[in-house]
């Protein structure tokens, strides 16, 4: 099983949480086979289906059952690579369907209202304006924003170096508006927040430490309440992607900007209903990213 873990980590570069999920499902398959005196390496389609049925009794949603299906399929792909067997029985079993929840997207006007209510007269407020402007302008994940260091900024070149899932790096263009607020934050706010010249974190809290995910969410919730806009912090990333697509950007470019390894993940933004699109977007992404 450790070789399978190495395959998940090194070959397909899954996140640690996904690796643990896949390993857990592989062990469940192994336990299923032990109870029935079966060899997991030689299971046939009908036996795999029976295993999935037993897992369905434990897994509460179609989504988690779909993850189980994907995990076991990866296990048999691994066995094929190892030369243990020549086929993948999961290729003949459809992935369980589940209702897909479309991302919550903000209209351009709502993004402007959110950012516009931030009190930039304080160091923390100026930081938040730069932070949320950057998340929207670059379509960052919250974790990516948390991990940013000053060395990730290339303001003269107008790009940001982002470390995404699986430690994959990508360069994302910086819009003029984002550059303006980042420069303003670095010049006027960050020096007052920093308690050490050695702290490389880009965004700092009031104690001079790296701003945490929890801190970002808490501050954003306050801003939403003040602006009257309903949304979650990840809505800025969703809005970035959808505003670009509605403006005419091609799907492959948006995939690269978001750091999606699978274009299918990006395609969800093309499936929003026409009513949602009409409400949310009338123009191209306003910051020229």
In a domain, 12, yes or no: yes
87 and 16 inside one domain = yes
27 and 132 inside one domain = no
CB 143 within 8 A of CB 213: yes
In a domain, 101, yes or no: no
Least confident window among 77-81, 120-124, 189-193, 261-265: 261-265
In a domain, 220, yes or no: yes
66 and 198 inside one domain = no
165 and 76 inside one domain = no
Judged against a pLDDT cut of 70, whether residue 283 lies above it is answered with no
Return left, alpha or beta for 123; rule: phi > 0 is left, psi -120 to 50 is alpha, else beta: alpha
In a domain, 289, yes or no: no
Judged against a pLDDT cut of 80, whether residue 92 lies above it is answered with yes
Domain end marker among 92, 122, 138: 92
The set of residues, in sequence order, having a beta carbon less than 8 Å from that of 34 and lying 6+ positions away, is: none
CB 84 within 8 A of CB 62: no
122 and 226 inside one domain = yes
In a domain, 263, yes or no: yes
268 and 232 inside one domain = yes
In a domain, 257, yes or no: yes
Q: Which domain holds residue 215?
A: 108-280
Q: Which pLDDT score, from 0 to 100, does residue 97 have?
A: 66
Structure tokens at 243: 């505003």
Q: What is the mean pLDDT of the chain?
A: 87
Separation of alpha carbons 247 and 257, rounded Å: 15
130 and 74 inside one domain = no
65 and 151 inside one domain = no
164 and 70 inside one domain = no
In a domain, 270, yes or no: yes
Q: What is the mean pLDDT of residues 240-250?
A: 87
Q: Which pLDDT score, from 0 to 100, does residue 99 have?
A: 55
Cross-strand pairs, 201: 149
The percent of residues above 70 in pLDDT, for the chain, comes to 90
pTM across the whole model: 0.63
**DSSP letters along 47-70, please?**
HHHHHHHHHHTT--SHHHHHHHHH
Domain end marker among 45, 63, 92: 92
Q: How many domains does the chain have?
A: 2
Phi and psi at residue 65, to the nearest 5° = -70, -35
Query: What positions carry a catalytic annotation?
Result: 141, 165, 234, 237, 260, 269
CATH at 153: 1.10.443.10
39 and 128 inside one domain = no
Tens digit of each residue's pLDDT (9 = 90 or more) over 7-42: 999 988 888 888 999 999 999 999 999 999 999 999
pLDDT-based confidence at residue 271 (cuts at 50, 70, 90): low
SS3 162: strand
In a domain, 200, yes or no: yes
Judged against a pLDDT cut of 50, whether residue 165 lies above it is answered with yes
14 and 127 inside one domain = no
Domain end marker among 59, 92, 125: 92
88 and 124 inside one domain = no
Tens digit of each residue's pLDDT (9 = 90 or more) over 185-221: 999 999 999 887 778 999 999 999 999 999 999 999 9
């Amino acid at each position: 099983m450790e070789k399978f873990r190495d395959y998940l980590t090194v070959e397909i570069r899954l996140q640690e949480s996904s690796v643990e999920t896949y390993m857990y499902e592989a062990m469940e398959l192994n336990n299923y086979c032990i109870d029935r005196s079966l060899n997991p390496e030689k299971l046939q389609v009908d036996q795999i289906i029976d295993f999935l049925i037993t897992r369905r009794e434990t897994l509460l949603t179609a989504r988690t059952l779909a993850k189980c299906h994907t995990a076991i399929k990866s296990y048999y792909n691994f066995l094929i690579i190892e030369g243990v067997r020549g086929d993948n029985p999961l290729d003949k079993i459809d992935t369980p369907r589940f209702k897909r929840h479309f991302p919550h997207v903000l209209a351009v006007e709502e993004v402007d209202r959110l950012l516009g209510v931030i009190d930039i007269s304080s160091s923390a407020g100026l930081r938040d304006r730069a932070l949320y402007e950057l998340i929207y302008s670059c379509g960052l994940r919250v974790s990516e924003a948390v991990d940013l260091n000053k060395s990730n900024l290339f303001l003269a070149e107008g790009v940001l170096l982002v470390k995404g899932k699986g430690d994959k790096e990508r360069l994302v263009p910086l819009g003029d508006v984002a550059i303006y607020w980042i420069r303003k934050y670095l010049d006027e706010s960050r020096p007052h927040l920093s308690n050490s010249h050695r702290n490389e974190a880009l965004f700092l809290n009031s104690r001079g430490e790296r701003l945490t995910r929890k801190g970002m969410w808490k501050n954003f919730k306050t801003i939403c309440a003040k602006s009257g806009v309903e949304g979650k912090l990840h809505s800025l990333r969703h809005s970035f992607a959808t505003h670009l697509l509605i403006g005419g950007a091609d799907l492959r470019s948006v995939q690269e900007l978001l750091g999606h390894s699978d274009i299918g993940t990006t395609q969800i933004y093309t499936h929003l209903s026409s009513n949602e699109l009409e409400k949310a977007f009338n123009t191209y992404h306003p910051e020229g990213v």
